[in-house]
Amino acid sequence: MSEHTITVAGVAVDTRHWIGGERVASTQTFPDVSPIDGSTIGEISRGTAMEAAAAVAAAKAAFPAWAATSRAQRARILHAIADGVEKRIEELAIVETTDNGALLRSHRRGVMPRVAHNFRFFADWLLQLDHEDFDTRGHTNHVSWDPAGPCVLITPWNAPLMLATWKVAPALAAGNTVVLKPAEWSPLTASLLADIAAEAGLPAGVLNLVQGYGSEIGDALTSHPDVRRISFTGSVPTAKRIAASAAAHLTPLSLELGGKSPLLVFADADLDLAVDLAVEQYDNAGQVCLAGTRLLVEESVAEEFTRRFVEKASGLKQGDPRDEATDIGPNIHPRQLEKIDGFVRRALAAGARAVIGGHRGDGQYYAPTLLTDVAQDSEIVQEEVFGPVLTLQTFTDEETAVRLANGTRFGLAATVFTGDPERAERVTARLVAGTVWVNCFFVRDLQAPFGGSRLSGVGREGGTWSFDFYCDVKNTVTAPKGWKDHG
């Protein structure tokens, strides 16, 4: 076994970058620590501007041939990657659970199958991507999607492989080459993806992987003149730095950022359903961008809703995410845990009341928390915590409900529970959000547009919207006359 290979729960993982079809080591490393027990999993190659430049150069060199590859062949390779993922679901699941602390059962049953689906969906969508020709005064308009060039994809730590492939799959399907920069807190499954892609026949340089700290390699990637698209999922402050860096070359951006999403419960709602799905907001230890962390409940049912919520949430089991019985695992990193605890301590000091939780557990675990008696303009209501912390406010009418729901700088998602379809239509029409769920939660179809409003993001991806972003969309207008006789 190579000195650059670590073993994670019996799975061999290469700790080096993947550039131009080869493993590349850095002179320095950074530790990858498991949030389950704080143990160091291994030392990971720590990229610099040199590795970033090499990865972009490799992507640029590979781009002409990959862009010229037929749609059918690109689709075949993407399906082969999906096959490789499906063969290694168990390995990918245990490595990612060890790396980021999310539930093993979720990785096995939902997340890793979704990774494979990401590749299959965009492979199939590529083959049906079309726009019907249309006429302008006898002239024919033909719309086409041309590959844009090398893409830099910067992905988060909360669902590392799924969110990486949500970007990688459409970028590759579109005929682009990719430089993937995974989050330094959870880099391991991205390395396994590089192996799977190579085994599936993806040409060298089409997918490149650079690991390391964003502060050290981010600008080298996002300001590079040869990069033609940047897609980022993460925090608003980091997005602002990326946007400033990309501005020098007007590189198009797709940004999926923070959320402070409302979950509205009207008095005529199915309270059992509303409570069940409200408790689901603790999924992944609250580290879900779409989570409805602000519970807004009609005053007349607030007491009953809270009673049922506390009863349901109190039954959640927090512990080792590798245990099938566990409902909530650890938070990703000591810094994140400190951030979560700081938010809650300041809220309590300002007069909030913890109905449940409100404190740390052992290790990197934070108790599922529900805070009431919070003001709309308070930090805990306005800022993204990204942990198992929910707030509860009440309202007396639709107008107040909508005002509270829209009363932050964010606009990623919203959830509405009501038994009145007319009310659902009225309220959802006024909510500022990229996705709204009515009497359901987290129903996601890859053909639907996905993105945020306000500070929650820029742009939309999914289905044809992904190809619109990852391509240069061209319209060719042809005159009805002027052809020479070639007979």
DSSP string, 131-199: ---EEETTEEEEEEEEE---EEEE--SSSHHHHHHHHHHHHHHTT--EEEE--TTS-HHHHHHHHHHHH
Task: Give the span between the Cα atoms of 60 and 179, in whole angstroms.
Answer: 10
**pLDDT band per the 50, 70, 90 thresholds, residue 121:** very high
- H helix count then E strand count, the chain: 16, 24
pLDDT at 373: 98
Instruction: Give residue 462's region: left, alpha or beta (phi > 0; psi -120 to 50).
Output: left
- φ, ψ at 42 (rounded to 5°): 180, 175
Helices 421-430, 398-405: crossing angle, 10 deg rounding: 40
Instruction: Select which of 184, 289, 461, 471 is catalytic.
Output: 289
**Collapsed DSSP state (helix, strand, coil) of residue 466:** helix
Torsion sign, CA atoms 285, 291, 296, 301: negative
Judge whether residue 486 has pLDDT over 80.
Answer: no
pLDDT at 103: 98
Element (H, E) at 43: strand 40-45
- CA nearest neighbour of 60 among 189, 225, 177, 184: 177
pLDDT at 90: 97
Q: What would the two tokens of residue 17 be?
A: 């970058």
pLDDT at 484: 83
**Collapsed DSSP state (helix, strand, coil) of residue 439:** coil
Task: Give the span between the Cα atoms of 241 and 235, in whole angstroms.
Answer: 10
DSSP string, 319-384: S-TTSTT-SB---S-HHHHHHHHHHHHHHHHTT-EEEE--SB-STT-B--EEEES--TTSHHHHS-
**Helix, strand, coil: what percent of the chain each, to 5?**
40, 25, 35
Task: Give the span between the Cα atoms of 300 and 395, in whole angstroms.
Answer: 9
Q: What would the two tokens of residue 189 be?
A: 């499954």
Average pLDDT, the chain: 96
End-to-end CA distance of the chain: 65
- φ, ψ at 45 (rounded to 5°): -55, 130
pLDDT digits 0-9 by tens, 123-140: 999 999 999 999 999 999
| 440 noted as active-site residue | no
Scan for tokens 């704080």, then name that residue.
38
State mean pLDDT over 220-229: 97
Instruction: Select which of 51, 91, 96, 256 is catalytic.
Output: 256
Q: How many CA atoms lie within 13 A of 479 on its CB side?
A: 4
pLDDT at 487: 59
pLDDT at 212: 96
Write the class of the CATH domain 262-438: alpha beta
| 151 noted as active-site residue | no
pLDDT digits 0-9 by tens, 24-83: 999 999 999 999 999 999 999 999 999 999 999 999 999 999 999 999 999 999 999 999
For the chain, the domains span 5-257+456-475, 262-438
Write the class of the CATH domain 5-257+456-475: alpha beta
CA of 284: how far to CAs of 49, 280, 339, 368, in Å? 33, 9, 16, 11
Judge whether residue 157 has pLDDT over 70.
Answer: yes
**pLDDT band per the 50, 70, 90 thresholds, residue 1:** low
**pLDDT band per the 50, 70, 90 thresholds, residue 2:** confident
pLDDT digits 0-9 by tens, 355-366: 999 999 999 999
Judge whether residue 453 has pLDDT over 70.
Answer: yes
The CA angle 254-404-441, to the nearest 5 degrees, is: 60
Beta strands in 175-291 (DSSP E): 178-181, 207-209, 229-233, 253-256, 262-265
State mean pLDDT over 258-280: 97
